[in-house]
Structure 1
Amino acid sequence: MPALPHGSLGRRIAYYRSVVRPKMTQKQLAEAACVSLGTVRKIERGERGVTDATLVAIADALGVDPGRLRTDRGPVHSTVQEALPALSAAIAAYDVPDDGPVRAVPVLRAAVAEAVRWRLAAQYTRIVRKVPDLLVEMARAYHQAAPCDRPEMAELLVSGYRSADAVAYKFGARDLSARLVELMRWAVPEAGDPLLASSVAYVRTETFFAARAYPAGLRALELALDASPAPNTQVGTAVRGALHMRAAVIAGRARDAAAAWAHLADARALADLVPEGVYYGTAFGPDSVRIHEVSLAVGLGDEHVGRALDIAREWAPPEDLPAERRSGFYIELARAQLWSGRADHAFESLKTARRIAPQHTREHPWVREDAGTLRRLKRADSESLTNFAEWCAAT
């Protein structure tokens, strides 16, 4: 891609980093944008140009629309959107991979663990840069593995597919997401791990959310609960609790309040038995259940919305929770505040979500809807609301 003119662009980036986001250092910007510290320094000094891909990554890290950084103010395509075809191509030959190098299992294991961390932190640009090639390599490794090594390779494939699915689902590539979910389900039997199967059932719920097939999704989760191992270990307890947590939310979308609150009560009882943590790729514990309680209250709407506001008055997600989950809390809270006539509070919650996980917030459909509503309600208000609405392409 051609490099964009520099100079004023670098000064604009430095302004947003040091004034609009005063707590962000050059190093933090470099890490969030997945570029080197030296690159950020040279860009801000006007010593080098910036490609479209790098500009989008920096803008996402700053929580601003890329057009606000450019001199020509022209449109910029999303780096992630442009990478989705490569992700699709990476899984097309999952059963007939081409020949190529395969690193040692410990190296692959570390690479997959890193991709999981990126997913939990909502660092989607990093995923699309690294995971397509990783998936191709892991497919080779799986088919070349000795029978005794295949279960672990299958488990790694599931984790890799899940990281890729997070990008596909968040960025609206529903068919690709469904394909990745089916590949997870294909790999699970080879792994021979019933807890892994339960975690895939958790992820599969995305397909029901996307299709708005909420009653069917609830049935699928309840079948997964019936098949899941007894919660007689810490990990088993957490995995089962996550299924109840997920079932509560989709039951709420199905307008089955009784089932929703019953599943949430089961999730809370199990969460009280384990520390907050990430189990089989899913965050679970008392804090995660509380966030899902807010999600459930918003999903049910009407008289339940006050419950979300009551939770937010007394509690906020701790910073050690995954960024995607924390930003989701503030996105849900913003909707509850908007419905309750608290427009200013709703905007503050949306800005908090953006600070925590810019890419996750920007691509969330509720953010676009609610930012558009806020702009219509407050047409004469500050420029920052208009800027936010433009940043997330508000509807």
Structure 2
Amino acid sequence: MEIKKDIGLKDSLTIKEKRYRNFPMVPRVIFGRGCFDQLGEILMPKRRHSEAPFIFLVDDVFEGTSFVDRIPLIFNDLVVFVSAEEEPKTVQVDALVGRIKTEFNELPSGIVGIGGGTLLDLAKAVAICLTNKGSSCDYQGWDLVVKPSVYHVGIPTISGTGAEVSRTTVLLGPEKKLGINSDHTTFDQVVLDPDLTKGVSKEQWFYTGMDCFIHCIESLNGTYLNAFSQSYGEKALELCKEVYLGELSPSESRDKLMMASWHGGMSIAYSQVGVAHAMSYGLSYLLGVKHGIGNCIVFRHLEEFYPDGVALFNQMMRKQKVHLPSGICSDLTDCDYETMISVSLGMEPLWENALGKDWRNIATREKLKSIYSRI
């Protein structure tokens, strides 16, 4: 934009000023095998008093396991086990917020999310909606959140989503699948303990890891690319290659994939994702396909947009002996296709990053239907 400034000269000068986004970053992060056991001392200074609990939202795969005994509960802290079988929903967020407000007389000291992307996104959304009125679906979009969230901590138990570092919490709402994209979304503290990813199934390890890989491909090939996002994206891509094409020990693989996830999330924080993510939102909204596998299913059909990335993806699938489902769109109606296409095309920043300002002339409804029909 153009701004006229009086700089003390005889005539005022017209100065062109370029505006840059001032994105937030996670202010505190701890990394290392076994660092989860320092959580109690990390949370203690953030406890306001004994009647202001910490609420732990934990993946229900840990219910009844010894891991629960390691959660540093004191006073009236509450553990809520949540299933990650489905994508996080706005109704889920609203229900959790309602429960917390009903059971406690004041705001909690904080929210701690322990799990994969679903639990981390739920934790971020609940933290926001405890201080902002209305339903979580009111905040799906970009920079709609008004008040800062309560203190919130992210502890990933699977690597790849980048949810631990992003300013987005992706939710399935009544009308759309869309993130709460806000400066208030980012975690205040992240705990990166690679040991917590032990026991993840090979399929899930691949799907979420490929979410990170696809982040990198879409960021590095996008029109929003800049030196900041490029440096993170290139490092994440290098780490993904080591993990999925190399010969690492299990502990090395866990360490490197956790770092790949962090770097991949940072890359898209300062740029954006692209075609695979935009189209996977349509699959998720209509068919309930989970995010990681949805990205994989779409990405292998995107040679037109990411030829080198798709070739590398196929190489990783062969190396890891992973097979993806096919024909999931074969029985859809024209109305179903229109729904998926509308949801996908609603992700305008993703399409602009992928294809530029003229993206609407490339990503036509006919083009998207031809891709979906092959899935």
TM-score interval, smaller chain = 0.3 to 0.5
Higher relative contact order (CA 8 A, sep 6+): 2
Instruction: Flag the structure with higher strand content.
Output: 2
TM-score, normalized by length of structure 2?
Answer: 0.32
TM-score, normalized by length of structure 1?
Answer: 0.31
Instruction: Flag the structure with higher helix content.
Output: 1
